[in-house]
Structure 1
Amino acid sequence: MQTDSVVIDGVKQSTASSPLFAYPSIWLHGAGMSASTFRYVVKGLPKAIALDLPGHGSAAPVYPPRVESYADQLAPHIPRGSVLIGHSLGGMVALELTARRELQVAALVMVESVPTVRDRISGRLTAMLASGLMRVLPMSLLTSPAGQSQKAATKQEVKKQLSQHSRAGLIAAMQAAGHYDGRRHLNTVLVPTLVVVGQDNRATHHGAKLAARHIAGSEFATLPGGHMLHFDSPDLLREAIDRFLKHRLTTPG
């Protein structure tokens, strides 16, 4: 039965003019996470598809671990005309997929994501050192939630997600993020693009603003929360995405 509303957390919400209900939305998680981390933010969205990146969740790894090869693996599972929503490493993959014109992506949303960490010396050093440190640090330290501004529930989510990955898997994800340079794609993105950062994690602000500055017609937004913005502020994030899509996309029908 067709309806023009849905009840989410006891509140009736209109679907008549909501692109998130009308368009398929593909949600791509960050390094060390899995598709399940989006369970709250996609609640009630009948066309939302959260995918596991290679080497995460139930997805087999690819070698060498690269954002481009991640995109190769995911492309067959993405319907044409989808809204791509990527968090952190997932945002890099979403950018790479958007650049592939044959997918005919409808819109791109990068959440707490940057097109590259290679644009500054500090980023290159961090990527190099992080991979080395992850080879020798105890797993108990690797799975310890970082970020003092995170909510208790967010810290538990980070710990739970990271604990489900092997050391090799975490290193591979870090290598994929550290190697990627999506700056070449920024001025070729022709679809509506929203770049969102959490106000408590300034580490992503430089790169995110770089993406917003070079993607024509893109919009930049800052929301309360840290790097795990989809867990810190799922309702605000979804509202921001929906608001953006409403004035940038036409709802089918």
Structure 2
Amino acid sequence: MAHSKEHGDPESLAVLQHHPSLWIHGAGLSGSTWREMTRDLPNAQTPDLPGHGAAAPLSPPRVEAFAEALLRETPQGCILIGHSLGGMVALEMATRAPSRIAALILVEAVPTVRDSLLKRWSASVAAWMLSNLPLKAVAWLSGIGQPAATREEVRAQLMRHSRVSLSAALDAALHYDGRTRLARITVPTLVITGRDNRATHRGAALIAEQVPNATAVMLPGGHMLHWDNPVALRREIDGFLQQRLR
């Protein structure tokens, strides 16, 4: 991971340094996965989603409930950055409290995983793995094909979970359908996808098409863009915020 001075020029960095920001992680991770991306941001918060890290679970686990839980601690004028499941949560938050949100950044996020046979099949495979394989094996398999730093991060994060918490996160994603919310998002929105993870391309494109005045960007890297390509990711976020908020 590059040091903060490599993320962008000082003028563009000023937006994130002076605005409060909420960085919402994906399923099977925790707020600590953003540690390198936010180390130069004094106003950044990196909460754990319910059932992840130190956060208590919610029953049933639902994106809508996750959004309500995070909104209780979301400051006025906050920039939301959501990855994967965290992107679903951020999307939901932006529709529930638009006056409190300054901008929405969705990284490798889709509005639903129920819109295609491939996504439903992938979710079924993940559910089977969680039910039938040792957690260590699930973590090991999840790191296959990833760059070394990403592989280490994915496996370390997953091993901090229990089988129950991972299944709950998958359940939350499977039950969410945010497609009807997209046209109601009024805040500046940036949709970022990884070129190597085609599974998110269709859903991300739908977000970019239906959210008014959204901007879409594709970067080299896979699903874990904040570890695969952190410098380019921060540069895109910083540049977008400088253009839309300054």
Q: TM-score range by the shorter chain?
A: over 0.9
Rate the CA distance shift 1:142–1:107 in 2: closer, same or farther, 3 A.
same
- The corresponding residue for 1:100 is 96
Which letter does structure 1 place at the counterpart of 2:75? P
Q: Note the C-alpha offset of 1:126.
A: 2.8
Q: Write the distance in 1 (CA, Å) between the matches of 2:145 and 2:126.
A: 21
Gaps of 5+ in 1: 1-6
Summarize the Cα distance change of 1:102–1:114 in structure 2 as closer, same or farther, 3 Å threshold: closer
1:195 aligns with 2:196: no
Match of 2:217 in 1: 221
Q: Residue in 2 aligned with 1:234?
A: 230
1:139-169 CA-partner distances (Å, limit 9, x unpaired): 1221115365521011000000000000000
- Give 5+ residue unaligned stretches, structure 2: none
Taking the aligned partners of 1:39 and 1:11, their CA distance within structure 2 comes to: 14
Matched, 1:136 2:132: yes
Counterpart-to-counterpart distance in 1, 2:125 and 2:139: 17
| 1:10/1:233 CA distance change after superposition, 3 Å | closer
Kindly indicate whether residue 14 of structure 2 is the aligned counterpart of residue 18 of structure 1. Answer: yes
The alpha-carbon deviation at position 119 of structure 1 amounts to 1.3
Q: Which residue of 2 aligns with 1:4?
A: none
Cα displacement string for residues 162-200 of structure 1 (whole angstroms, at most 9, x for unaligned residues):
000000000000000111000011000011000001111
Report the alpha carbon displacement of residue 238 of structure 1 after superposing the two structures with TM.
0.7
Among candidates 73, 78, 83, match of residue 77 of structure 1: 73
Q: TM-score, normalised by structure 1?
A: 0.90
Q: CA RMSD in A?
A: 2.0
Decide whether aligned partners of structure 1 residues 210 and 16 sit closer, same or farther in structure 2, where only a CA change above 3 A counts. Answer: closer
Q: Is the 8 A contact 1:197 1:204 kept in 2?
A: yes
- Tell me which structure has the larger Cα radius of gyration: 1
**Are the equivalent residues in 2 in contact too, given 1:150–1:225 (CA < 8 A)?**
no
Query: How many equivalent pairs are there?
Result: 244
> Equivalent of 1:28, from 20, 24, 32?
24
**Aligned partner of 1:125 among 111, 121, 139:** 121
Equivalence for 2:240: 244
Q: Is the 8 A contact 2:192 2:217 kept in 1?
A: yes
2: CA distance, partners of 1:16 / 1:109: 16
CA distance in 1, matches of 2:36, 2:10: 18
CA drift at 1:10: 8.4
Q: Is the 8 A contact 2:7 2:235 kept in 1?
A: no
| TM norm structure 2 | 0.93
Is this contact kept in 1: 2:22–2:45, CA < 8 A? Answer: yes
1:59-78 correspondence runs (5 A):
59-78=55-74
1:45 aligns to 2:55 (yes or no): no
Match of 2:52 in 1: 56
**8 Å Cα contact 2:6/2:231 also seen in 1:** no
Percent identity of equivalent pairs = 49
